[in-house]
Amino acid sequence: MQETTRHTVALAALALLAAAPLSHAMDTASATAVQAATGAGARPALPQALTPMKVDDYRETDLWARIRSGYAVPDVNNNLVSRHAQWYSSRPDYLARISGRASLYLYHVVQELEKRGMPTELALLPVIESAFNPQALSSANAAGIWQFVPGTGKDYNLKQNMFKDERRGVLASTDAALTYLQRLYTMFGDWHLALAAYNWGEGNVQRAIKKNQALGKPTDFESLAELMPAETRNYVPKLQAVKNIVANPGQFAVTLPAIDNQPYFTTIDKTSDIDLTIAAQLAEMSVDEFKALNPQFKKPVITGGEQTKILLPKENAEKFHLNLASWGHALSTWTTHKITGARESIGSLASKFGTTPEVIRQANNIPAQTRLKAGSTILVPKTSTMAHADIAENIIDNAVVAFEAERSAKRGKLAGSQRFKAKAGVSTAKKRVARHTTSKRKQR
């Protein structure tokens, strides 16, 4: 595929991702609620049979062929596999949407699998988990292409705070997911059981194994399937179905869109705060395109730090560096403010910081008819005296925001009995922050 064509297809995929509803986990019906893992320390070694391969060992020009060449999970062949293969192959538009999304991330996932000597068909697992949508959110609050629930995310060092949720970030979540899968394979010595544990939890799989052992029954996946919930019973067959389609698309009358065997994005280290809109502007991308590659950032400002990375297509990364070198303005127009008491209303804060109540509500995802409780930390526009100050690391890690219903003007008490309280580190923004005007410069 020509590079311009690849770029056009990828931009279309970015637009699809940006438009995807936050409340939808995936295009298919089921989403995975990964059970909280324990003992997630150093990365466990894989059994000796799985030896990491050098990336240069793979010379295919098409990424699908590269994935096929690394298949290593034993096949499953049953009626469920046939049923799911029929379901996927009869929906070419759905497969095309997934392929478009996957084209942005799949090279990175495959490369990471090869580095660890893991079967490359595991790169297809996000098809089952999230349809390769990093904005996917299940009813169990599992997020990202690998569908980590908050607890498991913390176990695998995925930061979840007011400013970002690394369960959605492609780099961090892929590293965590592969480490988790390695650990499960080391625990069970069987990829089918490891996958079942990823979906159902290792404790449940261990109990099922012990139950069958006590009855003198086999303990392979298919023998344990009758003890599993329907989602887990279908989980491995779904992956096998997708694996079969990728292995031989023609057999299923499917045409897979070509994905070049080369990286789509590159990483930029960012050590100082930068507005998300300014970062997109410097990269010469739309805000929606930028967010699709960097879905982990939850606020209108990307905070700096040693581990802050921005993903950009290679050509946009070059534009970013060139434009940054000639940028003569502040990179960030946001800072934080801690609410000290009831006198600090959203209206008074807007007046103090030269903005509107709506901008403050949207930037902090504050529901209508609520007010901020004392102790909350919120984003506000910078004033001239703090133009070059970055948000402190301790604030980034510990900031929370809490709301309560506004008081009734007539009765002088709460207008409703319900109180809203949520740690911003696990809340999900449902509105795009409106572009705001500061006293010095209009952003975007």
Which residue range is the domain that position 287 belongs to?
265-325
State the pLDDT at residue 305: 75
DSSP at 435 = P
Residue of 129, 202, 289, 344 marked active site: 129
Which residue is it, tokens 């990336």?
55
Q: Are the C-beta atoms of 138 and 32 separated by less than 8 Å? A: yes
User: 10 in a domain, yes or no?
Assistant: yes
- When mean pLDDT is compared across 243-252, 307-316, 419-428, the lowest value belongs to 419-428
- Does pLDDT of 435 surpass 60? no
Shared domain check, 87 and 36: yes
pLDDT in tens, 133-162: 999 999 999 999 999 999 999 999 999 999
- Does pLDDT of 198 surpass 60? yes
State the pLDDT at residue 59: 59
Q: In the β-sheet with 401-405, what is the strand arrangement from edge to edge?
A: 370-372, 401-405, 421-422
- Of 325, 343, 367, the position where a domain reaches its end is 325
Return the exposure string of 296-324: e unless at least 16 CB atoms fall within 10 Å of the residue's CB, then b.
Answer: bbbbbbbbbbeebebbbbeebbeebeeeb
How buried is 326 (Cβ within 10 angstroms: 0-12 exposed, 13-18 middle, 19+ buried)?
exposed
State the pLDDT at residue 408: 56
pLDDT in tens, 370-428: 999 999 999 999 988 777 789 999 999 999 999 898 875 444 433 333 333 334 333 43
Based on the residue annotation, tell me whether 129 is a catalytic residue of this protein.
yes
Name the average pLDDT for the chain: 84
Shared domain check, 178 and 78: yes
pLDDT in tens, 271-302: 899 999 999 999 999 999 999 999 999 999 99
User: 200 in a domain, yes or no?
Assistant: yes
* pTM, rounded to two decimals: 0.80
**At 303, which CATH number?**
3.10.350
Shared domain check, 95 and 17: yes
CA distance 19 to 16: 5
Q: Are the C-beta atoms of 222 and 80 separated by less than 8 Å? A: no
**At 92, which CATH number?**
1.10.530.10
- Three-class SS state of 334: strand
Q: How many helices (H) and strands (E) does the chain have?
A: 17, 9
Shared domain check, 295 and 373: no
Residue 316 in tokens:
């946009």
Question: Mean per-residue pLDDT for 27-42?
Answer: 37
Q: How many domains is the chain partitioned into structurally?
A: 3
